[in-house]
Structures are given as structure tokens and as C-alpha cells.
Amino acid sequence: MIDKVLQNGYCIGCGACAALRPEKFHMQLDSNGLLRAVMTSSQDLAPDDPVHQVCPFADPAMDEDVLSARFLPKAKNPHVRIGRHIACFAGKVTDPSLLQSSSSGGMGRWLLRRLLETQAIDQALVVSPCPRTPEGLLYRFEMISTPNQVMGMAKSAYHPVEMSEVLQHVMKTQGRYAISGVPCFIKALRNLMVVNPELQARIRFTLGIVCGHLKSTFYGEMIGWQLGVPPDQLGSIDFRVKIPGKQANEKGVSAIALDSETPATPPKTVRQLFGTDYGQGLFKPKACDYCDDVLAETADISIGDAWLPQYLNEGNSLIITRHPDLHSLIEEGMRQGDLQLDSITADQAADSQDAGLRHRREGLAYRLALAQDRGDWVPTKRVKPSTSGLTLQKKMIFRIRMKISRKSFPAFIEAKRDGDWNIFQRRMNSIIFLYTLFGGNFWKRLRKKIRKHLSIC
Ligand SMILES: Cc1cc2nc3c(=O)[nH]c(=O)nc-3n(C[C@H](O)[C@H](O)[C@H](O)COP(=O)(O)OP(=O)(O)OC[C@H]3O[C@@H](n4cnc5c(N)ncnc54)[C@H](O)[C@@H]3O)c2cc1C
């Protein structure tokens, strides 16, 4: 099964296979700036090798529902869009420095700091910025063991990372660990915990990061280029600068060149830059379009942005508790005044991720149906292939998004090769215009105009 995943381009680059079988798999950045597992030798990979079971896109028997039933027995409340859970909250930490240094409401930092402070864990495996590697990676998984180290963690890293090295460390080293990861990474980890007793015993908590989709290294390079740092000069990038006076969804970005210590320009918001509308899906791995878990349904706790109108004025986190110990930690934090959180319903939590869920549920059903018609191999999902109930406009949006993702890679490679940003923008303009036409308010406005015209007539 894992061979099928790799051959058909569905590897998400999590590193679970390389963690379990380092002698057979290694992780490598491909020419599209995506991390991929590469099979060193395929000859002696037995059909019953457990490695087939750990890949998040390989084993149809281990879907998110099966894994969450197994690992989250105390999360008694089922919900079709957010998964099993104990409770949902929206809000933020009250510590201003923690809040300022975080992506949204600072819950990631607060939780991991609290787990280390209370010695509930010995180490946390987190994503941190790193000096640029020769291949162009700017972030990696690292181990931290003191509460102060959480301040150095990455904010949202819309950039490839993989877990093989840190997971090998956990398999070899006694201890109690927590780990943060996007939904497919946590799913892979749960699969690994099923086949590896050391991991099962040592990973005490999983912190799921709500995820729209992952990005290749090109995404950071594209932003950096528009901020005055050419791709080969990009030393670091901050995807979540909080700009005073801007709403939380107007994410600030800044880039630092290799030979510099300060950003090339003052931060800009993503709205001021080309190609950053997350819905468009530039530089998206193919696997992300075949995933139906937005809210990290197999994690002990899920955190994301509270994209609800009443929480947009400043960064606020969405929190979904699924493990009773983490739920108690959150309640204690509220009692002690560390956290300013409101209880919200599961439907509100789902609504805050409405766009992502639509793309991964009805959009996925449509993409699966298209793949089925073509006779393509696709991973088995909880969502079943279907085209029913979709308007022509929605079908067009889902098709255009796929095209944007596919087109963005060669267009950026060509622009980089010629050192000319305009090549990229020219190549992408028409398809992005088409997306705006179908995805924006164009049809609503048109319908309104027609109605108005008819009423005048
Ligand atoms: C690729 C990606 C897509 C996302 N899409 C959405 C979305 O569609 N909707 C939404 O609500 N939220 C999304 N998020 C999550 C959101 O951007 C914030 O990371 C989240 O709200 C946590 O913010 P915070 O202030 O609570 O955490 P912080 O205190 O800033 O802590 C951040 C935590 O995130 C971890 N982290 C950062 N990047 C990664 C990564 N690539 N892989 C694993 N762990 C990581 C760090 O280790 C740290 O634990 C996405 C994040 C990523 C990385």
C-alpha cells in the first residue's frame, strides 16, 4: 500500500515510515520544494510489513474515526465535522508576551509551557525555525525541555517539516513526551503508536494543529520575493506577524535575507501580496486534496484560529479538548486567570473552519468522483465519491483550485530559473482571475444586478 501512495504522489512527507524503517526509507526535498519519503530499497518490503500501516494515506482500515475511538475513549461527544471531543473554547492567553509571540491566541505556547512547568512531560517535540539548510528548509522538528524554550518555537510554519528524526529519538529514549502536529501527522503518529509499544508508552500528549493544507518551500519563497528577498537569499520567514490595528485574519508576514539580521521591509499583510489567499491553494501537496480531517480529530487537543466574527479583532485560538487531563489543565488555566476563554458549541467550532471543511468534505467527494471516473488510484477516505448536490459554480471552484495548485509549481520553477518574478505572476494571473470570478462575490453581484434589472423592466 505504501508503494501505491508514493507512486501516485500522495506522500505528505510526515516521516512516519522513515521513523519506523530508517533502513528502507529516507526523507528528501523534491524539485517542487515538498518533503517526500524515498524508498531506498523496495525489494524486501513484505506485504505485511507494519510500515504499510503507519502511512496516513495507506491503510484504509485505520481512518480517523477508528483511531479516535481507540485513543480518545473519554471524548464522549461525537460530531461529524470536528470529531469526538469533550468541549470547545475560543479565546486567548492573558500573558501579553506569550500572546504577542504566538500565531493566534497563544494556546500552543501556553499548553506546552504548562506541561513542562508541571512536569507532566519531560520533553516537547515542536516545530522551530532553523538556520536555512542547503536544500532550503527553514523550519524543523526539535526537542525542547524547559518552559522558557517555548518562546523560541515556531508560530505557524506554512513550510515543510518532517518527524522521522525526533520520533526515532523517542523510540530509543525513555521519557514522557508531547508533540505538536497537523492532522495527518498526528494520524501517522497514532498509527505508529499502534505498531510500536515504546511510542505508545512515551507519547503522553498530542497537540493537533488545525490545518487548511500544507505548503511547499515555494510558498515562503514567493512571499519573501515580494518582500524584496529573492528565493536563493531567503534566510528566514515569519508567517504570522501581528500588525497593530489589523484584524487577525490579515496575517502579517516578514522575511529576512541570509546576510541580514533584520527584515528586508516592514511587515506586510498577506492581502497586500499575490498568491497568498489560502483558498487558492498555491503550492499545495496533492495529498492535502485527499484528506478529510481539518480539525486533527485524532489529537488529544486541537488548536487553531477562532475564525468567527466576534473573535477577529485580535488573535484568538480555537480549542477542542479530547483528553481529560488537557481539558482539566485548560479549566485550571481559566480559574487561575491565565486563559480568557469562552465556551463555544461544536457547531460554532466547525463554523470557524467552514471553508476548510467544505473543501475537504463536499470538495473531496467531488475530487474522488473525478478520480474514479479517470480510473486513478486514490487513498480510501471516510468521505465517499459523489457529485450530487453541487452547483456548477462549486464544481468549477474545486476544479480551478486543483489547477492552481498544479500550475503553481512549474510556474514558480521557471520564474526562479530566470530570476524574474513577473514570469510567475503572468503564468498564474489568468487562472487566479478565473478563481476570483467563480469563488468571489461575482455571481452574487450578477444575480443581484439581473434581479434589479428585471424588477425595473
Ligand atoms: C500548515 C498550517 C495550516 C494551518 N491551517 C489552519 C486553518 O486552516 N485554520 C486554522 O484555524 N488554523 C490553521 N493553522 C493553525 C494556526 O495557524 C495556528 O498555528 C494555531 O492557531 C495555533 O496558534 P497559537 O497561537 O495557539 O499557537 P502558538 O503559541 O503560536 O504555537 C504554535 C504551535 O504550532 C506548532 N506548529 C507550527 N507550525 C507547525 C507545523 N507546520 N507542524 C506542526 N506544528 C506546528 C508549534 O510547534 C507550536 O506548538 C494552520 C497551521 C499550519 C502550520
Q: Count CB-CB contacts under 10 A for residue 81.
A: 17
Residues 92/106, Cβ–Cβ less than 8 Å: yes
Q: Which atom of ligand 1 is nearest to the CA of 128?
A: 47
Distance 180 CA to ligand 1 centre (A): 9
Q: Distance between CA 140 and CA 154 in Å, rounded?
A: 9
- The whole domain housing 330 covers 55-212+285-354
Same domain, 75 and 92: yes
- Choose the final residue of a domain: 243, 272, 301: 272
Same domain, 205 and 259: no
Question: If we measure between CA atoms, which residue out of 174, 172, 160, 176 comes closest to residue 125?
Answer: 176
Q: Which atom of ligand 1 is nearest to the CA of 102?
A: 30
Residues 110/116, Cβ–Cβ less than 8 Å: no
Strands 177-181 and 203-209, by their bridges, are parallel
How confident is the model at residue 450, as a pLDDT?
A: 76
Q: Whose CA is nearest to atom 19 of ligand 1?
A: 156
Helix, strand, coil content of the chain in percent (nearest 5): 45, 15, 40
Same domain, 174 and 206: yes
Residues 6+ apart with CB under 8 A from 81: 295, 346, 350, 353, 357, 361
85, β-bridge pairs: 77
In a domain, 7, yes or no: no
In a domain, 47, yes or no: no
Q: Which atom of ligand 1 is nearest to the CA of 240?
A: 17
Domain harbouring 74, CATH code: 3.40.640
In a domain, 35, yes or no: no
Q: Distance between CA 210 and CA 355 in Å, rounded?
A: 13
Same domain, 314 and 428: no
How confident is the model at residue 452, as a pLDDT?
A: 74
Q: Count CB-CB contacts under 10 A for residue 266.
A: 10
How confident is the model at residue 304, as a pLDDT?
A: 97
144, β-bridge pairs: 124
In a domain, 184, yes or no: yes
Q: Distance between CA 255 and CA 234 in Å, rounded?
A: 7
Q: Count CB-CB contacts under 10 A for residue 141.
A: 23
In a domain, 16, yes or no: no
Cell of 303: 488548536
In a domain, 14, yes or no: no
How confident is the model at residue 456, as a pLDDT?
A: 66
Same domain, 119 and 71: yes
Backbone φ and ψ for 344, nearest 5 degrees, come out as: -125, 165
Same domain, 206 and 292: yes
Same domain, 205 and 329: yes
Find out whether the beta carbon of 321 lies less than 6 Å from any atom of ligand 1. no
Q: Whose CA is nearest to atom 21 of ligand 1?
A: 304
Distance 49 CA to ligand 1 centre (A): 33
Find out whether the beta carbon of 103 lies less than 6 Å from any atom of ligand 1. yes
Same domain, 294 and 266: no
Q: Which atom of ligand 1 is nearest to the CA of 127?
A: 47
Per-residue pLDDT of the chain (457 residues; tens, 9 = 90+): 898 999 999 999 999 999 999 999 999 999 999 999 999 876 678 888 999 999 999 977 789 999 999 999 999 999 999 999 999 999 999 999 999 999 999 999 999 999 999 999 999 999 999 999 999 999 999 999 999 999 999 999 999 999 999 999 999 999 999 999 999 999 999 999 999 999 999 999 999 999 999 999 999 999 999 999 999 999 999 999 999 888 888 889 999 999 999 998 999 999 999 999 999 999 999 999 999 999 999 999 999 999 999 998 888 999 999 999 999 999 999 999 999 999 999 999 999 999 999 999 999 999 999 999 999 999 999 999 999 989 998 999 999 999 999 999 999 999 999 999 999 999 999 999 999 888 766 666 777 777 777 776 6
Distance 195 CA to ligand 1 centre (A): 27
- Choose the final residue of a domain: 332, 354, 376: 354
Same domain, 314 and 207: yes
Q: Distance between CA 254 and CA 446 in Å, rounded?
A: 37
> Number of folded domains in the chain?
3
- Choose the final residue of a domain: 311, 326, 354: 354
Distance 75 CA to ligand 1 centre (A): 22
Same domain, 166 and 252: no
Find out whether the beta carbon of 158 lies less than 6 Å from any atom of ligand 1. yes
Same domain, 108 and 164: yes
Distance 120 CA to ligand 1 centre (A): 22
Distance 146 CA to ligand 1 centre (A): 21
In a domain, 446, yes or no: yes
Find out whether the beta carbon of 304 lies less than 6 Å from any atom of ligand 1. yes
In a domain, 62, yes or no: yes
How confident is the model at residue 43, as a pLDDT?
A: 66
Distance 405 CA to ligand 1 centre (A): 21
How confident is the model at residue 312, as a pLDDT?
A: 87
Same domain, 240 and 157: no
Find out whether the beta carbon of 108 lies less than 6 Å from any atom of ligand 1. yes
Find out whether the beta carbon of 102 lies less than 6 Å from any atom of ligand 1. yes
Find out whether the beta carbon of 156 lies less than 6 Å from any atom of ligand 1. yes
Residue 100 burial (C-beta neighbours within 10 Å; 0-12, 13-18, 19+): exposed
pTM: 0.95
